[in-house]
Amino acid sequence: MSLPGSTVQVPSTGVTPGSDGARAHLFTAGSVEEYRRVLAEGIGRVAARVSEVDRPFTGATPDELAPRIAGIDLDRPLGDSGAALDELHDVYLRDAVYFHHPRYLAHLNCPVVIPALLGEAVLSAVNSSLDTWDQSVGGTLIERRLIDWTADRIGLGPAADGIFTSGGTQSNLQAMLLAREETCASLVGRATERQSRPELLSRLRILTSAAGHFSVQKAAKLLGLGADAVITVPTDADRRMRTADLAREIARCREEGLVVMAVVATGGTTDFGTIDPLPQIADICAAAGVWLHVDAAYGCGLLVSPTRRHLLDGIERADSVTVDYHKSFFQPVSSSALLVRDRRVLRHATWHADYLNPARMVEQRIPNQVDKSIQTTRRFDALKLWLTLRIMGPDAIGALFDEVIDRAAAAWQLLTEDPRFEVVTRSQLSTVVFRYLPAAAGREVVDDANLYAREALAASGAGLVAGTKVDGAHYLKFTLLNPETTLDDIAHVLDLIAEHAGWYARTRATAELSCPVG
């Protein structure tokens, strides 16, 4: 039929062309057998690929992969899961970087435990959204129980609370948001806050270690603070924050009329795996009345370590803590959380929407997680950790983390005894920062040789290592998070690095001799 005065034709049925076929792909009670078949096929492909991988990377380049993916017509479906998986193998699975391989030694990426993969399969299929109770029910309570468990492991006390996040960057951002709001609330009354706030924001400062994570600077930018809002505190020879410098910086800020809204200590720096002196920093913050945030995204695995929990002593005095389960708890991305000592501060992330979480629900004691989060729709990532704890237990996770820390210590010893290399400092966790030293080479040649070695190693796919800068010079970095990595694997990669870097240095020296400057 058509509407009066209109030429637009209105379909006589609510079913659009092709919708019957599309419905066959919906996960419903009527498609459970197809669900079993398709997922089993996908799991089989992944299992087959993982079982045959003999190196962490194929060395594929963007120039090689981009045309393949750009040439796929997304408007012309293949219509078959087998064909789609064949295609996926060509554009992804074949050339993916496999963190489970023992010679992947680059970034803070861990192999994942099977109970967490089970959780991933369950949470994706049920597809709960953890923003409101009426969308998650049991999921809300499971997440809250895990937050309580983590807060108890940290030692934050009975008033603690928190929320799962997408990662350390989001956790640090929310921590700085809470610190900013608490600082503003303590300095100005509500009646004058609107007039005073812009001026106050320009005076806020965050103090963090020179070896701290870049997300602190990013958070300051996103929160509308000035480019000079983050002040880095020097580190000692072990790359730990100098507490005397921290105390002097707090005093200097106050003398200049600036307001220190937070001190960010690190429970495991990304580059060096070092832990700031938390008890002393906590003393300084307590005396100054300054919010203390501990970024333990990396070092949180120590919370379940059977032998090294003491390395995080002092973390229990923090006002907020970042943990990344998808680093040292061997969880799939993403799985992170922000914990706070006083649950009341989470109100700064609350906004009531009539359609979602009206204020009356608080009076009815309905547990809506969106009241604590800067996200709305949010995956049930907590389920992965829940099943890991229920199947493996925390001691088993901690034992795995202890194992990679032991391996890093052995790698550090190996490097200190090898005259081809220079090592920076001994990590308290599982990183090793080092560089190859060509004989009689200047700094520029040393830098370029190490940069070349990293690129050549990656291009071969035989191993992957990270790179960083230390005091302006280029270094290489092992990040060990795989208990399957052996000292022989590490020694083999070191030999490859020395071979690539040595070749570069010799070739460059020969070229410079044949073409002398001037």
pLDDT digits (tens, 9 = 90+) for 99-137: 999 999 999 999 999 999 999 999 999 999 999 999 999
Tokens found for residue 252:
């200097």
Residues forming beta bridges with residue 465, ordered by sequence position: 105
Q: Which CATH class is domain 128-391?
A: alpha beta
> What's the pLDDT score for residue 517?
53
- Alpha-carbon distance of 496 to 490, in angstroms, equals 10
What dihedral angle (degrees, nearest 10) is formed by the CA atoms of 233, 239, 244, 247? Answer: 40
The pLDDT of residue 186 is 87
Q: What is the dotted CATH code of the domain comprising 395-514?
A: 3.90.1150.170
* Residues 165, 336 contacting (CB under 8 angstroms): yes
The secondary element (H helix, E strand) that includes residue 479 is: strand 473-479
pLDDT of residue 195: 52
Tokens 């649950």 -> residue = 343
pLDDT recorded at residue 10: 39
The structural domains of the chain, with segments of one domain joined by +, span 128-391, 395-514
204-209 and 259-266 as β-strands: parallel, antiparallel, unpaired? Answer: parallel
Q: Pull the structure tokens for residue 352.
A: 């009531």
In sequence order, the β-bridge partners of residue 275 are 267
Beta-carbon-side half-sphere exposure of residue 89 (alpha carbons within 13 Å): 17
Reported pTM: 0.93
pLDDT digits (tens, 9 = 90+) for 467-509: 999 999 999 999 999 999 999 999 999 999 999 999 999 998 8
Dihedral-angle region of residue 268 (phi above 0 means left; psi in -120 to 50 means alpha; beta otherwise): left
Enumerate residue ranges in the chain where pLDDT < 50: 1-17, 190-191, 193, 518
* Sign of the dihedral defined by the CA atoms of residues 270, 403, 101, 84, in that order: negative
DSSP-derived letter for residue 330 is -
Residue 168 · residue 322 · CB < 8 Å: yes
Phi, psi values for residue 104, rounded to 5°? -85, 110
State the Cα–Cα distance between residues 381 and 131, nearest whole angstrom: 12
CA distance 127 to 137: 12
